């Protein structure tokens, strides 16, 4: 979702901001804007749609500016609504990430004071509130603080100030991070935006104001205006590789990387896991939580904790915590799954659970994220940057970590490591051109179908759900994942001649049920596809079969991979934008 970028240094700001915004594209956006200070003027270019590969830089020279990618919430996708927004006297511009939840009340109040609005975006309210402060004789910096304090919701604002040739920013909820280089400062929603320029970062916390002037930054606490010495806390970023390599799309690259990332995510030693294991052993209740794909990771990890570790673990969706809140106590452990560490629903849930005193253990992929700072303990997924909006490698990294934890709880840390490394080498030989061709051929047969059903049971139930999510995200086709047991209770009414049904089948206690379920839909004319262990390749109930990489205990991982590949090839056949599907954002930083 919305991305913020700011730069002050020696180089061409328009070009650096353009590069920074390009790297924020993966978060999802529908319009963009860049403002720079050119001599005695702020110049702004903005447009709807995607940022062009080049911007007309000839007319723009500057070493200071800000940029924004907007994901529309309040107000349609128009050039006027795109950020940054000018003050009336054109002495400053503001861009914002987040949603001003009390926008209407503030707008009405300002309108009653004769302020006129040109747009229907909430950001304009912030501009007017700052102008109101200035009108009262308060300087821009302090007017910004006082305006910001009136905003409800998770917001981060960035201001380009013409008079003092500086950038100001305040953070509350929506992510913000500083990049530091000799005489240059970068400010962005995430470090991917500037890591081609610098790998030194400074974290920014909620309730902090950043002032950047002439290549130097200062941080203040907005509650008491006190200077915070953060310069001493410069950190180094982990390697971030955003090269597509030999792949046409990030998605395919990220799918293939899973052979390594499941090992990276679990390269922790038993000693490093010990604090979490101790907490889990002493916990009264264990909860797992996440949203979207991370929500299905949470489901799968709770499954492992129950099935392998015999712990009573409950999975919660980040946006449905209401009924659990009164149950959570300081004796509980919450395992949080989040690629970005910035998902608004997840952060809000964790803040509430923290108030109840629960121990928060997070599994995060993005360095420097908010979640890492509010957790009692966090583990990095180390999957490297995941650029495709549809999550693939981070999902399997998260569940690999959950599996390792579950096995460690029963004293089988070494066995888990062995299983992970055996799957990793089996995956290496799984990703062949021939296999890709076979899966592409099956995907091509599905192009004209609209409604699809995926059935799973036991260790494959949540994989049916994640598989369906993966395919609908990029193909825009209607896929639904169900527990096979649900079939007779309603789903079967939807099956007609030619309905595609995918059954996930492993050589486990549920295999017979999966075969019967598949025969039941076949008898009603369904086109049946099996995904699973090779042993079932010749089962008569399947019209097509996709075998998976061999593993004893990590079938959830090997079984999800064909779904990722079907999703990729189906979207390719349909001509969809694979890495940036319509309407979706990678990092859902607003509620
Ligand atoms: C969005 C993304 C998903 C992701 C979910 C949660 O919906 O498109 O890929 O699973 O947000 O994000 P998180 O960063 O918390 O894992």
Query: For the chain, which domains are there?
Result: 3-234 (3.60.20.10), 247-431 (3.40.50.10490), 432-577 (3.40.50.10490)
Which residue's entry shows tokens 């830089």?
57
Atom of ligand 1 at shortest range from CA of 366 = 14
How many CB atoms are located within 10 Å of the residue 375 CB?
21
Q: What is the distance between the alpha carbons of residues 337 and 340, in angstroms, rounded to a whole number?
A: 9
Q: How many CA atoms lie within 13 A of 429 on its CB side?
A: 8
DSSP string, 281-301: HH-S-EEEEESTHHHHHHHHH
pLDDT at site 61: 79
pLDDT at site 60: 67
Buried b (16+ CB within 10 A) or exposed e, 417-430: bebbebbbebbeeb
Q: What is the distance between the alpha carbons of residues 478 and 482, in angstroms, rounded to a whole number?
A: 13
Q: Nearest to residue 266, comparing CAs of 431, 413, 462?
A: 413
Percent of the chain with pLDDT over 90: 83
Q: Quick one: average pLDDT of 85-114?
A: 94
Are the C-beta atoms of residues 233 and 202 closer than 8 Å to each other?
yes
Helix, strand, coil in percent for the chain, rounding step 5? 40, 25, 40
Write a three-state SS string for 541-585.
Answer: CCCEEEECCCCCCCHHHHHHHHHHHHHHHHHHHHCCCCCCCCCCC
DSSP string, 416-477: HHHHHHHHHHHHHHH--HHHHHHHHHHHHHTTT--EEEEEE-GGGHHHHHHHHHHHHHHH--
Q: Quick one: average pLDDT of 100-121?
A: 92
Q: How many CA atoms lie within 13 A of 535 on its CB side?
A: 11
Are the C-beta atoms of residues 276 and 282 closer than 8 Å to each other?
no
pLDDT confidence band for 370 (50 / 70 / 90): confident
Q: Nearest to residue 153, comparing CAs of 263, 74, 52, 255?
A: 74
Tokens of 385: 């940057």
pLDDT confidence band for 238 (50 / 70 / 90): low
Task: Tell me, using a 6 A CB cutoff, whether residue 391 lines ligand 1.
Answer: yes
pLDDT over threshold 90, residue 430: yes
Among 27, 189, 291, residue to substitute to test ligand 1 (most atoms within 8 Å of Cβ): 291
Q: Is 103 in a helix, a strand, or coil? A: helix
Task: Tell me, using a 6 A CB cutoff, whether residue 210 lines ligand 1.
Answer: no
Atom of ligand 1 at shortest range from CA of 294 = 10
* CA of residue 435 to ligand 1 center, whole Å: 28
Please name every residue paired with 94 in a beta bridge, in sequence order, or none if there are none.
85, 159
Annotated active-site residue in 2, 128, 317, 382? 2
Please name every residue paired with 363 in a beta bridge, in sequence order, or none if there are none.
337, 379
pLDDT at site 162: 97
The torsion angle over the Cα atoms of residues 135, 141, 142 and 145, rounded to 10 degrees, is 110
Q: Which of 238-247, 517-526, 543-552 has the lowest mean pLDDT?
A: 238-247
pLDDT over threshold 70, residue 232: no
pLDDT over threshold 70, residue 263: yes
pLDDT at site 56: 66
pLDDT over threshold 80, residue 241: no
Q: What is the distance between the alpha carbons of residues 46 and 17, in angstroms, rounded to a whole number?
A: 13
The better pLDDT of the pair 240, 514 is held by 514
Averaged pLDDT of the chain: 94
H or E element that contains 3: strand 3-8
pLDDT confidence band for 590 (50 / 70 / 90): confident
The pLDDT tens digits for 8-50 are: 999 999 999 999 999 998 888 899 999 999 989 999 999 999 8
* CA of residue 79 to ligand 1 center, whole Å: 28
pLDDT over threshold 70, residue 57: no
Tokens of 42: 């702020």
The pLDDT tens digits for 340-358 are: 999 999 999 999 999 999 9
* CA of residue 114 to ligand 1 center, whole Å: 42
Residue 106, judged by CB atoms within 10 A of its CB (0-12, 13-18, 19+), counts as buried
* CA of residue 149 to ligand 1 center, whole Å: 29
Buried b (16+ CB within 10 A) or exposed e, 515-535: bebbbbbbeeebbbbbbbbee
Annotated active-site residue in 128, 417, 477, 586? 586
Task: Tell me, using a 6 A CB cutoff, whether residue 398 lines ligand 1.
Answer: no
Q: Is 397 in a helix, a strand, or coil? A: helix
Q: What is the distance between the alpha carbons of residues 374 and 239, in angstroms, rounded to a whole number?
A: 23
Rounded to the nearest 5°, which phi and psi values hold at 45? -120, 135
Are the C-beta atoms of residues 93 and 160 closer than 8 Å to each other?
yes
* CA of residue 295 to ligand 1 center, whole Å: 8
Residue 215, judged by CB atoms within 10 A of its CB (0-12, 13-18, 19+), counts as middle
How many CB atoms are located within 10 Å of the residue 537 CB?
12
Residue 2 a catalytic site member: yes
pLDDT at site 58: 59
pLDDT at site 239: 63
Q: Quick one: average pLDDT of 533-541?
A: 92
pLDDT over threshold 80, residue 407: yes
Residue 541 a catalytic site member: no
pLDDT at site 192: 87
Among 391, 392, 394, 399, residue to substitute to test ligand 1 (most atoms within 8 Å of Cβ): 391
pLDDT at site 586: 83
């Amino acid at each position: 979702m919305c991305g913020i970028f700011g730069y002050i240094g020696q180089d061409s700001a328009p070009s650096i901001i353009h590069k920074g915004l390009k790297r924020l594209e993966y978060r999802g956006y529908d319009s963009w804007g860049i403002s720079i200070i050119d001599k005695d003027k702020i110049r702004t270019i903005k447009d709807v749609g995607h940022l062009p590969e080049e911007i007309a830089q000839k007319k723009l020279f500057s070493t200071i500016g800000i940029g924004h990618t907007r994901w529309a919430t309040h107000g349609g996708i128009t050039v006027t609504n795109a950020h940054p927004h000018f003050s009336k006297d054109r002495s400053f511009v503001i861009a914002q990430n987040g949603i001003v939840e009390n926008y209407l009340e503030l707008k009405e109040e300002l309108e009653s004071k004769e302020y006129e609005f040109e747009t229907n975006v909430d950001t304009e309210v912030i501009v007017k509130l700052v102008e109101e402060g200035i009108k009262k004789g308060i300087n821009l910096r302090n007017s910004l603080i006082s305006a910001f304090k009136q905003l409800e919701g998770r917001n981060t604002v960035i201001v380009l100030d013409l008079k003092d040739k500086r950038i100001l920013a305040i953070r509350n909820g929506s992510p913000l991070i500083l990049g530091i280089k000799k005489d240059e400062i970068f400010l962005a929603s995430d470090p991917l935006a500037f890591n081609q320029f610098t790998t030194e970062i400074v974290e920014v916390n909620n309730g902090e104001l950043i002032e950047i002037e002439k290549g130097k930054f200062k941080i203040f606490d907005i509650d008491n205006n006190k200077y915070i010495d953060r310069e001493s806390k410069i950190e180094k970023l982990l390697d971030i590789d955003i090269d597509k390599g030999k792949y046409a799309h990030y998605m395919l690259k990220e799918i293939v990387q899973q052979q390594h990332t499941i090992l990276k995510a679990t390269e922790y030693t038993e000693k490093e896991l010990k604090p979490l294991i101790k907490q889990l052993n002493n916990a009264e209740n264990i909860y797992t939580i996440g949203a979207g794909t991370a929500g299905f990771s949470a489901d799968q990890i709770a499954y492992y904790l129950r099935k392998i570790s015999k712990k009573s673990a409950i999975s919660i969706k980040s946006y449905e915590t209401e009924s659990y809140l009164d149950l959570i106590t300081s004796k509980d452990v919450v395992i949080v799954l989040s690629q970005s560490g910035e998902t608004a629903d997840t952060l809000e849930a964790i803040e509430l659970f923290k108030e109840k005193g629960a121990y928060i253990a997070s599994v995060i992929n993005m360095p420097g994220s908010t979640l890492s700072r509010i957790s009692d303990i966090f583990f990095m997924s180390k999957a490297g940057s995941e650029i495709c909006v549809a999550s693939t490698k981070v999902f399997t990294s998260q569940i690999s970590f959950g599996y390792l934890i579950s096995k460690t709880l029963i004293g089988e840390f070494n066995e888990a490591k062995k299983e992970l490394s055996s799957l990793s080498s089996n995956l290496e030989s799984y990703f062949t051109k021939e296999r890709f061709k076979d899966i592409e051929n099956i995907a091509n047969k599905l192009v004209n179908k609209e409604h699809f059903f995926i059935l799973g049971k036991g260790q494959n139930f949540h994989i049916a759900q994640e598989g369906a999510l993966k395919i609908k995200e990029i193909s825009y086709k209607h896929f639904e994942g169900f527990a096979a047991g649900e079939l007779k209770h309603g789903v079967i009414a939807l099956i007609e001649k030619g309905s595609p049904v995918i059954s996930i089948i492993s050589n486990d206690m549920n295999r017979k049920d999966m075969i019967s379920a598949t025969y039941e839909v076949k008898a009603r004319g369904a086109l049946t596809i099996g995904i699973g262990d090779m042993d079932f390749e010749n089962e008569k109930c399947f019209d097509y079969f996709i075998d998976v990489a061999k593993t004893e205990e990590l079938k959830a991982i090997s079984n999800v991979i064909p779904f990722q590949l079907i999703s990729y090839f189906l979207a390719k056949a349909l001509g969809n934008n694979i890495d940036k599907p319509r309407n979706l954002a990678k990092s859902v930083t607003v509620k």
